[in-house]
Amino acid sequence: MNGLDWTALFSAADRAVGWVAGLWQQHAVLIVVAAVIPLVATVILVVLRRRVRRRWSHRARLVELLPPSDLDLATAFAGGRRLWRDLTGITPPAWRRRVRGHPALALEYLLTPERLTVRIWIPGPIPPGRVEAAVRAAWPGTLLIPATDTPISPTHTVTGGVVRLERPEYFPLHIADAREDADPVRALQSLATALRPGESALVQVLLRPGVGGRLRRYRRIVRRLHTTHSATGSGVTRLPAELARELLDLITGSRTPTRSTSTSGTRGTDPQRAEELREIRAKAVLPQWEVELRYAAATSSTGAAARARVRGLADGVFAMFAVLAGRNALARHHLHRPAAALARRRLRHGALLSTTEIAALAHLPVRNPALTGGRARTVPAPPEVFDHPDTAT
């Protein structure tokens, strides 16, 4: 009725079904094996990676970093840039990353009522002494001592979150200059003075070098941003506009002048857009790290008041990331079971940040006499102390 030969169509379908049935009868075993082998290989790879990750945790090292007393903000930032540039060499070969996965470091800021502790968690595959030597080279005079891992107790009242970029990862964060009063770690130092007994907070920076296909895709997008077409433009999306222009030319009998490269390059250049592209390009040429930020606040108390208290502390912890807002910014999201997530220290997928951005996030704190964790300031001894017989010479 519609001009179709339904008899021929059904005959062709019947022949196709018969051919598939015959193929199944002749090669049923091969078809089953071909379907099962990829499934079995995937299961074996998942089991192997889980065992390898457990081995990473069992052989991991937790080291506390004690900064030198004369450390200033400029030296802290410069040391951070050197440290994360140096540690890009810990990347395993491509075949090992595919089979065993890619281990991630974890730099942590632990806040207690007594002090702010900086520690770094080093997974088992990284050779002993590799990270420690890089830390000493970045910040000469830093003391490194083994630390005991004390995870947040499951009986505590805990709240936390994960921090992600608001815009695409090729937009850079605002990097504070050493002359600016914009050190993210200072917010943590001030928060430590407000903690009560039984309260604690933890900021965790999980990171591993950005390599392989992930890095290639990132730099390919950046290159597209700097061409005459946008990163999302393509021949398919431009085709309707070209056809509409040709149709308009046929109707009106005129010819739409084509834009030359020089005209399009100089027409209405937006200075803000040019500056934005310059900053994107400056970030892309630096070594990249895949990073995920997590934080949590906990208290040994329970009840509604304790929940409100830890929410306030968590807001104070997140405030450290506000000073990095610029072309891009950091936004917080919900983290399921924060205590368990921070204890696992597992990085699945993070955002790419440059070594300069990481140096602003993960560096040794500068000692500030005004932020001493609520300790009493040193005052001269009273005169009667020197008149005491025990102190006489």
Domains, in order of start, for the chain: 51-215+281-361 (3.40.462)
48-86 pLDDT tens trace: 777 767 777 778 899 999 999 889 888 999 999 999 999
Q: What is the largest CA-CA distance in the chain?
A: 123
Cα separation, 351 vs 210, whole angstroms: 9
Number of other CB atoms surrounding residue 294 within 10 Å = 22
Mean pLDDT of 158-172: 94
pLDDT at 164 over 60: yes
Tens digits of residue pLDDT in 277-301: 899 999 999 999 999 999 999 999 9
Instruction: Name the amino acid, one letter, at 58.
Output: H
Structure confidence at residue 4 as a pLDDT band (50, 70, 90):
low
Buried/exposed 199-222: b ≥16 CB within 10 Å, e otherwise: bbbbbbbbbbbbbeeebeebeebb
Q: Kindly tell me if the per-residue pLDDT of 95 is higher than 90.
A: no
Global confidence as pTM = 0.74
pLDDT value for 371: 59
Q: What percent of the chain has pLDDT over 90?
A: 42
Q: Which amino acid, residue 25? A: Q
> Distance between CA 230 and CA 221 in Å, rounded?
9
